[in-house]
Structure 1
Amino acid sequence: MNNLSDFLSTTIVTLGGLNISFGQVLASVIALVVIMLVAIFILLWRASNNRHKARDLEMQNSMAAQSQMNDLLKVQAEMQGRMTTMAELFGSRQSELNQNINNRLDGMSQKLGNSLVEQTKATHENLSKLQERLAVIDTAQNNIQTLAQNVVGLQAILSDKQTRGAFGQSRMETIIKDGLPIGAYQFQTTLSNSSRPDCTVKMPNDSPHLVIDAKFPLEAWNAIKKAADDRATTEASRQFRADIEKHIKDISEKYLIAGETQDTAFMFVPSESIFAEIHENFEGVIQKAHRSRVVIVSPSLLMLSIQVIQAVLKDARMREQAHLIQGEVIRLMDDIGRLDDRVRKLQTHFGQSQRDIDQILTSTDKIAKRSAKIEDMDFQDTDSVNIEKPEQKPISVVKPAQEKGRLNLRP
């Protein structure tokens, strides 16, 4: 026993001046084992409680699931009854729907047949109209081909210098002929210096003639349009400027003759685009033309100038015939005076007729009143009534011309 106590009191480890014996270690181990056993017991108890709770919960869930299953079976039975009812309803509705569909299909078939007949008829009509339009298109195509041939011919005309000048001459002659009367212009007339301008327009009051030149250098202009690069364009522009300045100089020297022609001549450009291009890019040419008293005109400007000349010629003719117009106006005033006198006489006759009508109405009013008194047997004031004598009117003598209502406007 003493040996056991000594063994238990034997120091095993010294920690920080504290001696730890074998008995203390054994007591600590036993205490630790007891604590572990208590913890295991507690854990087993808790596990048992959890199993009981889980089993109770499972039983509750099973009962709830059974209840839900019963409810589902009940709902399923109700659904089967409803589905049977719906199947019967759907069967009847389906038969009605099939009948309606058949009826509508029959109606649609009939309408479709009628529509196809009408569509076929409309298609035939459209095809006939299309054939007519195709015939028109063929005619238009033939016209276009003819126009293309004419354009090719025009291009061939413009490629030749003489024919191109004839083209400008024809355009200028057309404008002149449309705007001025015959005798107010001449084509290819010879001046005193033996030069022959394309057209001379006679001005009023024996003024000198206006000269119009229709020749225009288009070779350099076509070269400008056909230039492939800037260098070729510059060279063609320089040549065009030189050619047109030379042409302006020729017009100024040949056609501006003092006392015979106007101090200004027209140079006709047969294209509006060329005219606009000259004014936009060749300002020096325009200035030289102004200094040389040559006006560059396009077809529209020439037409406007011709209209102004026509107005001036008309004004000159009016001044020449002024004395005749004045005499006609004097005779017209005499006719108006006679017309006024005769209208006043006619107004006097109408006034006299109106007074006679008023007196007739007064007499008829008195007759009506007298008739009413006779009808009512009212003769009280008969003796005091003075019988009116009809007023004697002078008989007016109407001239035959007035009686027939004629108004002579000539003396």
Structure 2
Amino acid sequence: MNIIEILLIAIVILLAINIIITIMKGKNKSDEGTREELIKFGTKLETIDPLIRSEFSRSREEISSSAKENRDELNATLDKFSGKFTDSVKDLNEQQRQQFKDFGDSQEKIRKDTEDKLETIRKTLEDKIKNLQDENAKKLEEMRNTVDEKLQTTVEKRFNESFKLISERLEQVHKGLGEMQTLATGVGDLKKVLTNVKTRGNLGEIQLDTILSQYLSTEQYEKNSQIKEGSLERVEFAVKMPGAGKGSKPVLLPIDSKFPIEDYQRLMDAYDKAGRIEQKELDAIGRQFENSVRKNAKDIKEKYINPPVTTDFAVMFVPTEGLYAEILRRPGLFEMLRREYMVTVVGPSTLVAFLGSLQMGFRTLAIEKRSSEVWEILGAVKTEFGKFGDVLEKTKKKLVEATNTIDSAGARTRAIERKLGKVQELPEAETNKAIENFPDNEA
């Protein structure tokens, strides 16, 4: 459908709308008027119809002519474009063919060059690898011979050393068996010793004495010290602590060794059988161990704590770290001993640290006591230093006088040398003869 047909349809629609509007406006008029209007409208339509048909015919002819011209022009353009496109494609194909040919020639040349270079590299590598293999084979042969020689020597040496070592070890094993027999005898004796309460006490006392003697001087502690007058009880050791005032007696710190080995050993055996005994039995053994430790602490408190002769606390030494660790492991036992019995438990390493802190305190007090003496010595040094300044001043004057005297002697010496320079010198032979004939004062 072209534009003219659309316009005609639009005109018809407008006329129909006009008729409808006219009809609606003329409702009150008579039917006769309406009929006349319709007749007029029909006459107009008959007049317009030939015009429309004529216009339709002319439009179709123009459109047909225009379409034919457009088709002819389009065909001419397409033919022209097809010719140019064909020529361009031919040129492009020719260029690509030439480029492909050039590229193929270049690739062939590169391939040949690469093959030549690779062949050269291959020959070079083969020669070098062959030389390297020959050298390696030669060196490996030399190394093999050297290794064989050294290996033979080393094997013989090691064999002789191993045989000697085995002989020595067998001798040591034989000797060790004898020592083990002796050790077994000693262990039996030690077991007998440890089963004796008094002997165990002596063992702890000896260990305590050894530690104290290593970290304190003999003036800083007492052995078997009597704490209470009229009492036969004596503490094993008492460290002398400085008194409160100058000239006052030292305050004693009681240290006593305890070794409840039966209860401790029973507890260790119970730990080893933890999965084979009931928890109640294990708890009972633990309570028995705690009671034994508390009994020892109570004994120390009642016998050895006596303020102001002693400190208001004492130290209980246990000779093994395992026993000390077990006391610390029991909940509240260590704190209860300090709170109720005023007793502090220490093991060997803890005692060493404790004595180290005491030794530092002793040194601090000694420095404080000596501070006044040091001040007096510094005053004397100041006085002597003033006198020393006077002596230095006098020495300086003497040195100046000596320097002046030496300068004067040097001037006189130079004057004498100038005088002697005018004297005729003797020949060397006569000089030696004169020296030989010079009278000897010692003759």
In the superposition, the TM-score normalised over structure 2's length comes to 0.48
Whether contact under 8 Å (1:200, 1:209) holds in the other structure is: yes
The one-letter amino acid of 1:161's match is V
- 1:4-403 paired onto structure 2 within 5 Å: 116=152, 119-129=155-165, 131-132=167-168, 146=182, 149-190=185-226, 191-192=228-229, 193-205=231-243, 206-227=249-270, 228=273, 229=277, 230-284=279-333, 286-334=335-383, 336=385
Secondary structure, aligned partner of 2:234: coil
Which residue is equivalent to 2:85? Answer: none
Which residue is equivalent to 2:441? Answer: none
> CA–CA distance in 2 between the matches of 1:327 and 1:296?
44
Query: How many residues matched?
Result: 256
Secondary structure, aligned partner of 2:353: helix
> CA–CA distance in 2 between the matches of 1:288 and 1:111?
73
Deviation at 1:264, TM superposition (A): 0.6
Secondary structure, aligned partner of 1:188: strand
CA 1:197–1:111 in structure 2 vs 1: closer, same or farther (change >3 Å)?
A: closer
Deviation at 1:295, TM superposition (A): 0.9
List alignment gaps of at least 5 residues for structure 2.
Answer: 1-136, 244-248, 408-443
Whether contact under 8 Å (1:248, 1:289) holds in the other structure is: no
Deviation at 1:203, TM superposition (A): 1.5
Cα deviation, 1:140-199, whole Å, max 9, x if unaligned, reads: 666666555544433332232221111111111111122211132222223324322221
CA 1:128–1:259 in structure 2 vs 1: closer, same or farther (change >3 Å)?
A: same
Cα deviation, 1:34-67, whole Å, max 9, x if unaligned, reads: xxxxxxxxxxxxxxxxxxxxxxxxxxxxxxxxxx
Whether contact under 8 Å (1:204, 1:312) holds in the other structure is: no
List alignment gaps of at least 5 residues for structure 1.
Answer: 1-99, 358-411
Cα deviation, 1:364-403, whole Å, max 9, x if unaligned, reads: xxxxxxxxxxxxxxxxxxxxxxxxxxxxxxxxxxxxxxxx
Whether contact under 8 Å (2:320, 2:348) holds in the other structure is: yes
> CA–CA distance in 2 between the matches of 1:288 and 1:163?
25
The one-letter amino acid of 1:225's match is M
> CA–CA distance in 1 between the matches of 2:334 and 2:190?
28
The one-letter amino acid of 1:208's match is V
Q: Give the aligned CA root-mean-square deviation in angstroms.
A: 4.1
> CA–CA distance in 1 between the matches of 2:392 and 2:188?
73
Deviation at 1:251, TM superposition (A): 1.8
Secondary structure, aligned partner of 2:260: coil
> CA–CA distance in 2 between the matches of 1:345 and 1:125?
79
> CA–CA distance in 2 between the matches of 1:294 and 1:225?
24
Cα deviation, 1:109-146, whole Å, max 9, x if unaligned, reads: 99857853553244324433554566566666666665
Identity among equivalent pairs (%):
25
Whether contact under 8 Å (2:304, 2:314) holds in the other structure is: yes
CA 1:313–1:115 in structure 2 vs 1: closer, same or farther (change >3 Å)?
A: closer
> CA–CA distance in 2 between the matches of 1:324 and 1:149?
60
> CA–CA distance in 2 between the matches of 1:167 and 1:246?
20
> CA–CA distance in 1 between the matches of 2:343 and 2:146?
84
Whether contact under 8 Å (1:241, 1:285) holds in the other structure is: no
Secondary structure, aligned partner of 1:270: coil
CA 1:218–1:123 in structure 2 vs 1: closer, same or farther (change >3 Å)?
A: closer
The one-letter amino acid of 1:194's match is L
Cα deviation, 1:59-82, whole Å, max 9, x if unaligned, reads: xxxxxxxxxxxxxxxxxxxxxxxx
Whether contact under 8 Å (2:327, 2:333) holds in the other structure is: no
CA 1:324–1:138 in structure 2 vs 1: closer, same or farther (change >3 Å)?
A: farther
> CA–CA distance in 1 between the matches of 2:376 and 2:178?
61
Secondary structure, aligned partner of 2:190: helix
Which has the larger helix fraction? 2
